[in-house]
Amino acid sequence: MNENLNLNQLEKKTASLIYQDGIFDMTLGLALIVFGIAYKLNEVWPETKIVLFMLGLYAIIATPLFLIQVLVTKPRLGVVKYSTQRKRKQMAMIVAAASLLIANIVAFILITTGVFQFSGDVYLMAVIFGLVPFLAFIIIAYLLDFKRLYLIGALFSIGIFLLNLFAIQNLDLIGTVTIIGLGIGIMAIGAVYLVLFLKKYPKITGQEHEFQETRNK
C-alpha cells in the first residue's frame, strides 16, 4: 500500500515538472496579446477575418514555444511513461478546460461584435467573462498540482475582465493596452522560469521512466 502511495506521489511530481519550464505560461500570455490585438482590429475588420488572424498569429508565435518544449524541455526530463489512469485524467482535464476557455472567448467575440445581444447587466457580463476562465484555471492547477497557475490564471482572467470593463466605458484603447500589458507580463514570468529550468535541469539522454498501474492491496 505504501509502495503504491509513494509511486503515485512520484508520478504526480514528475508530471508537474513538465510545466516548470514556463512554456505554458508564455502560451497563455501570448493568447492575451493576440486577443488584445484582435479586439482592437475589430473596429476595422470583419469577424471572420479577425478569427483567422487570431488563429494564424497564435500558431506562428506559439509553434516555436512548443518546439522548445519538445526539443529542450523533454530531453532534460527523460522519457516518462505514465499510467493509463493518469493519461485519461489529463486528457479529460485538457478537453474540459480547453472547451470552457474556447466557449468563453467565442461568446465574448460574438457579443462584442454584435452577433448576439446580452440582455442582462453589462457589468455582470464582464464579471462572468472574467470568472469563467479563472474557474477553469483553478481546476487545471489543482489536478496538475501546478501552483503557479493560480497566479497566471488570475492575471489572465483579470485581463479579460478589464477588457470588458473598459469596453463598457468606451475606453477600448486602454482595455487593449491593459490586456496586452498583462500578456507581456505573463510571458515574462514564463521566460524567467524557462531560464531557471534550463539551469536546474541539464540535458540527459538514454533514461526512461515508466510508472506501472497501481492497485490497492
Rounded to two decimals, the pTM is 0.72
Cα 90 to Cα 21, 75, 84, 145, distances in angstroms: 18, 21, 10, 12
* CA 153 – CA 11 distance, rounded (Å): 24
What pLDDT, on a 0 to 100 scale, did the predictor assign at position 138?
Answer: 87
Q: pLDDT (tens digit, 0 to 9) for every residue of the chain, 217 residues total? A: 444 545 566 556 666 677 788 888 888 888 888 888 887 887 777 767 777 887 787 788 778 888 887 888 877 776 556 566 666 766 776 676 667 666 666 666 665 555 556 566 778 878 888 888 888 888 888 877 788 889 998 998 898 889 888 888 888 889 899 999 999 999 999 999 999 988 888 766 544 444 444 444 4
Question: 149 — phi, psi (to 5°)?
Answer: -70, -25
What pLDDT, on a 0 to 100 scale, did the predictor assign at position 1?
Answer: 47
